[in-house]
Structure 1
Amino acid sequence: MPEGHTLHRLARLHQRRYAGAPVSVGSPQGRFTTEAAKLDGQVLTSAEAHGKHLFHHYGPLGTVHVHLGLYGTFAESTLPEADPVGQVRMRLAGRTHWTDLRGPNRCELLDAAQVDAIKARLGPDPLRRDAKPDRAWERISRSRSSVAALLMDQAVLAGVGNVYRAEVLFRHGVAPLVPGRALDRALWDDMWADLVTLMRAGVRVGRIDTVAPEHLPAAMGRAPREDRHGGEVYVYRRTGMPCLVCGTAVAYQDLAGRKLYWCPTCQPG
């Protein structure tokens, strides 16, 4: 599932390409036809992201809410439009570009109250300037759940996925299974600030890089990471490989249906 930086990149891209002008909206697949007909030819006023949710605002006509889930993707192209390929839930076209949405978990037209309800149940997003990290701390500091589980709970913290979860815990030497209430406030503040920095970098470059300059391939004389997710990371999907800092084999286990990675030496329990 795409992490928050991907949705913010999409929001910025769609804001730049489509906002402020009439757009054509269709549903070649047919599952969004009624909603698309209401929006076709209207002005897309703005695009924004909150966590893993994307919102296309059309003023009083409502807001298109997209949650990509595990399989959803956007495909971006320049005009002229081509025939749809595959099951295109929504096609958006403007003056210079067109975009196809396939396989989302959610693609729905909502009113303002419904949009507010979605945002209200999400935790603070490190990529939003209106984020209130104290809200996340209030939940974490009272919880017996592991910090690893809490970081993935979108009601606690919006936009953080498995990669950022594993990497921020490593960067701050936090054992994944430590209860949230055992965290020190100063440590949490440092982790939040680090997430803001890492995720903003992810928005800029379109991939997740978390390693310090001294641990990059060129500095260490090692081969670059080969992974479809891209980027250089410390522990994510490096099971059994040596930690880039201490050489200990990276550990792995399942936690609440998701894969958890950490270094037993750098993140002692």
Structure 2
Amino acid sequence: MPEGHTLHRLADELRTAFAGRAVASSSPQGRFAAEAARIDGRVLEGAEAWGKHVFVSFADAPEQVHVHLGLYGSFLVTPGVGRPVVGQVRWRLEAASTADLRGPNACELLTPPEVDALIGRLGPDPLRDDADPERAWRRIHRSSVPIAALLMDQAVLAGVGNVYRAEVLFRNEVAPMTAGRRVTRKRWDAMWADLVELMREGVRTGRIDTVRPEHEPEAMGREPRADDHGGEVYVYRREGQSCLVCDTPVRRRVLAGRNLFWCPTCQHRG
């Protein structure tokens, strides 16, 4: 599933391509046809991300289109219009460019109260200027749930996925099964600041890189990471490989249905 930086990049793309333009809105697949017709021809005012959700707003329309890509969704923006429809396109936007949404978990037209209710269920997003890390801390420091599970709970923290979860725990030397209430405030503040920095870099580059300069391939004289996810990381999908810091083999276990990766030597503190 795409992590939060991907959705913020998508919102940026949609604003760049369509903001201030009257757009043609359609649903070639047909599953969003009635809703698409209600905003057809309207000026796209904006697009913003909150965690793993994108909201698209239109002039003179109180409703917003809510998109959640889920595991298999894609929303691709390409130059030009009049392109043939390829695959099951749930929603198409056209102005000077074309944006095709395929396979989303959600594509729906929501009223302002519905938007507010959805956002109200989400935790703070490290990529948003209005984020309040105190909201996440209040949930974390009272919880007996492992911090590795809390970081993936979108009601606690919005936008963090499996890669950022594993990497921020490693970079801050936190054992993943540590209960939330055993994480100190100082360490939480450091983790939040780290997420803000790492995820903003992800928005800028379009990939997840988490290793510090002294652990990059050139500095260590090692081969770059070969993985279809791209990016240089410390533990994510490196099970059995040597930790870049201490040489201990990286471990993996399943937590709440997702693979969790960590170094048992470096991550010994709560």
Name the SS of the counterpart of 1:38 in structure 2. Answer: helix
Name the residue aligned to 2:71. 70
Q: What residue is the counterpart of 2:143 in the other structure?
A: 143
In structure 2, what is the Cα distance between the partners aligned to 1:226 and 1:73?
Answer: 24
Q: Partners of 1:228 and 1:112 in 2: how far apart?
A: 39
- Residue correspondence of structure 1 range 17-96 to structure 2 within 5 A: 17-61=17-61, 62-95=63-96
Tell me the SS of whatever aligns to 1:25: strand
Q: Structure 1 residue 80: deviation in Å?
A: 3.3
Structure-1 separation of matches of 2:43 and 2:77: 19
Give 1:59 deviation, angstroms. 4.1
| SS in structure 2 at match of 1:108 | strand
Q: In structure 2, what is the Cα distance between the partners aligned to 1:157 and 1:60? A: 32
Q: Give 1:20 deviation, angstroms.
A: 1.3
Distance 2:38 2:226 in 1: 45
Q: Is the 8 A contact 2:14 2:77 kept in 1?
A: no
Matched-pair contact (CA < 8 Å) for 2:13–2:77:
no
CA distance in 2, matches of 1:192, 1:12: 23
SS at structure 1 position matched to 2:114: helix
Secondary structure in 1 aligned to 2:104? coil
Gaps of 5+ in 2: none
Structure 2 residue 7 is the aligned partner of structure 1 residue 7: yes
Equivalent residue, structure 2, for 1:195: 195
Other-structure match for 2:256: 256
* Separation (CA, whole Å) in 1 of partners of 2:83 and 2:17: 18
Q: 1:25 to 1:100 in 2, by over 3 A?
A: same
Query: Aligned partner of 1:222: which letter?
Result: R
Deviations along 1:24-81, whole A, 9 cap, x unmatched?
1111100000001111110111100000000001144210000000000112211133
1:132 aligned onto 2:142: no
Give structure 1 stretches of 5+ with no counterpart. none
- The secondary structure found in structure 1 opposite 2:99 is strand
TM-score by length of structure 2 reads 0.98
| Alignment match, 2:174 | 174
Matching residue of 1:225: 225
Deviations 1:166-194 (A, max 9, x none): 00000000000000000110110010000
Identity %: 64
